[in-house]
Amino acid sequence: MNGAESLVETLLTNGIDTCFANPGTSEMHFVAALDRNREMRCVLGLFEGVVTGAADGYYRMRERPAATLLHLGPGLGNGIANLHNAKKAQSGILNIVGEHVTTHLGFDPPLAADIAGLARPVSAWVRTATDAASIAALTVEAIDATFGPPPAIATLILPGDTAWGAAEGKAAVARSSAQPRQRVTGDIIDKAARLLRSGEPTLLILGGPALKGAALDRAGEIAGRTGCRIATQFFSARLERGAGRVPLERIPYAVDQALTMLKPFRHIVTVCTEEPIAFFAYPGKPSQLKPKGCDVLTLCTMADDCGEALADLAAAVGATEMDRPVQAASEKLRPSGALNAANLAQALLATIPEGCILVDESVTTGRESFGVTAGAAPHDNIQNMGGSIGFGTPLSTGAAIACPDRPVLCVVGDGSAMYTIQSLWTQVRESLNVTTIVCANRSYQILKNEFKAVGAGVPGSNALSMLEIDNPTLDFVALAKGMGMGATRVARAEDLCRAIERGLAEPGPTLIEAQL
């Protein structure tokens, strides 16, 4: 057995059975090992940003890491934007990055690069295999890092000679017992309970695993019992929402709106997230969004057992299931008329099916959607924690592979879609149940808004040439069809509703270009 085979068998032994890949020459022995182990599902992406984004989406829905296979430093470099987003979402991913044969590196070949240097900013663990015999043990270390707690990205660099060299001793290694999450101490629980019982305005901000399941239920019960308010940051890695679930406010993206929302609070308690910070700095506006005199208490971090912490806090304040608020179902009126941000949101409300995974990278067009869809059928909402655009279609790809029995609805801006449009090809190849809505407003509208917000004045022709994407006009229907995907173009809200329902009902992926 060679080093590459011991790597694959160690991955499979430890439950990692999906590899998102874009390989090259240096990785061919690993590709051969994957070929001999058909239990591993290998998913090809035509750009490394698709590969890393799909691995992020896979983790967010399955809560288990996938492997990626990337070619040398340039391949890793191409995938870093979506690894950045995955890091901010605290997703577990195991990158396998091929490297030149050790003796070949001394000649400085054209593709030689500082792979470890590229990997470190987005990885909690980075190691290079020095021989075939070390690969299995290193793989277990990497897997441990991906699980955490907290979950993280690990990058194992695999020189070609270690992949083809003979592995000695144990060819595959199983992990020891998983590292438990830490329990939040009683004094922190008591301090949080005192704040919540004080009667002073208090905001509970939830993130990570606190946004789903029993943890979210306990947070709702705490709010119902004490009168505190509960909210999310503007972006969340994964949020369970919709009719019958605990309703959550969302801290606004715009600084002035966020300051207004947060102004009344005397205390903020954070759960698996940080205090609210502005996405960007603006002249004359603060970076910290909390009001002056507001204190912040960290109830728990991503390394802690947030479910247990919230259960303990609920018990400390005397909250029970009877205190839990429940989101009412909204009337699902079908909108009509020329498409705009408002009726696009109404179309989503009317058509989101129960169990849907809604991946949101609609940037400006979809900002109204979050509030409008609060009472939609119960669904999961995935957002871009890192802000690096081009995450929506790869995330949808990985989410669909993680949850093949659930429909995936991706809403993405036209500018964002072009970053990783190759995702459509992978969706067709894998027959994934993804319906993609491209919001085509023919501009980087978010940047037009930011141009004004930072006080840069009114954009002239030179600036607009960098903010508009209407010359030439992008034809997403043609782009989708060119990759084998069925596609349609709509300009009215009633047609969008019908197109979404048709896309969700029919097997395989489809694209809808929504002209706004």
Is 351 in the same domain as 383? yes
Question: Per-residue pLDDT averaged across 74-87, rounded?
Answer: 98
Is 134 in the same domain as 208? no
pLDDT band for position 368 (cuts 50, 70, 90)? confident
The whole-model pTM stands at 0.96
Flag whether pLDDT at 363 surpasses 90: no
Given 130, 164, 198, the domain boundary residue is: 164
Is 236 in the same domain as 377? no
Flag whether pLDDT at 44 surpasses 80: yes
User: What pLDDT was estimated at residue 440?
Assistant: 94
Residue 181 lies in a domain: no
User: 398 near 368, Cβ under 8 Å?
Assistant: no
Burial class (CB in 10 A: 0-12, 13-18, 19+), 83: buried
Segment 397-456, tens digit of pLDDT: 999 999 999 999 999 999 999 999 999 999 999 999 999 999 998 888 888 888 888 899
The helix (H) or strand (E) run that includes residue 49 is helix 48-62
Is 12 in the same domain as 76? yes
Residue 169 lies in a domain: no
**Number of structural domains in the chain:** 3
Segment 253-310, tens digit of pLDDT: 999 999 999 999 999 999 999 999 999 999 999 999 999 999 999 999 999 999 999 9
Place of tokens 């695993």: 209
Spatial CA neighbour of 349 closest among 328, 321, 363, 364? 328
Residue 283 lies in a domain: yes
User: What pLDDT was estimated at residue 124?
Assistant: 98
pLDDT band for position 168 (cuts 50, 70, 90)? confident
Given 289, 323, 357, the domain boundary residue is: 323
Spatial CA neighbour of 25 closest among 104, 82, 114, 131? 104
Residue 203 lies in a domain: yes
Is 319 in the same domain as 361? no
Structure tokens at 332: 């699902």
Is 126 in the same domain as 8? yes
Residue 145 lies in a domain: yes
User: What pLDDT was estimated at residue 95?
Assistant: 98
Question: Per-residue pLDDT averaged across 337-363, rounded?
Answer: 96
Listed in sequence order, the DSSP H helices in 352-466 are 369-372, 392-402, 414-417, 423-429, 445-453, 461-464
Range of the domain at 365: 341-515
Flag whether pLDDT at 232 surpasses 80: yes
User: What pLDDT was estimated at residue 172?
Assistant: 78
Residue 175 lies in a domain: no
Is 363 in the same domain as 265? no
Structure tokens at 130: 């020095």
The domain that holds 145 is classified in CATH as 3.40.50.970
User: What pLDDT was estimated at residue 451?
Assistant: 87
Question: Per-residue pLDDT averaged across 128-135, rounded?
Answer: 95
Summary mean pLDDT of the chain: 96
User: What pLDDT was estimated at residue 169?
Assistant: 63
pLDDT band for position 40 (cuts 50, 70, 90)? very high
Q: Please list, residue by residue across 84-123, b when 16 or more beta carbons sit within 10 angstroms of its beta carbon and e when fewer do.
A: bbbbbbbbbbbbbbbbbeeeeeeeeeeeebebbebbeebb
Is 196 in the same domain as 100? no
d(CA 94, CA 83): 11
Is 268 in the same domain as 346? no
Angle, nearest 10°, between helix axes 392-402 and 48-62? Answer: 50
Flag whether pLDDT at 170 surpasses 70: no
**For residue 276, is the peptide bond before it cis, meaning its omega torsion is within 30 degrees of 0?**
no
> How far is it between the farthest Cα atoms of the chain?
70
Structure tokens at 245: 């679930």
Is 159 in the same domain as 192? no
Residue 176 lies in a domain: no
Residue 115 lies in a domain: yes
The domain that holds 190 is classified in CATH as 3.40.50.1220
Is 242 in the same domain as 357? no
Is 160 in the same domain as 276? no
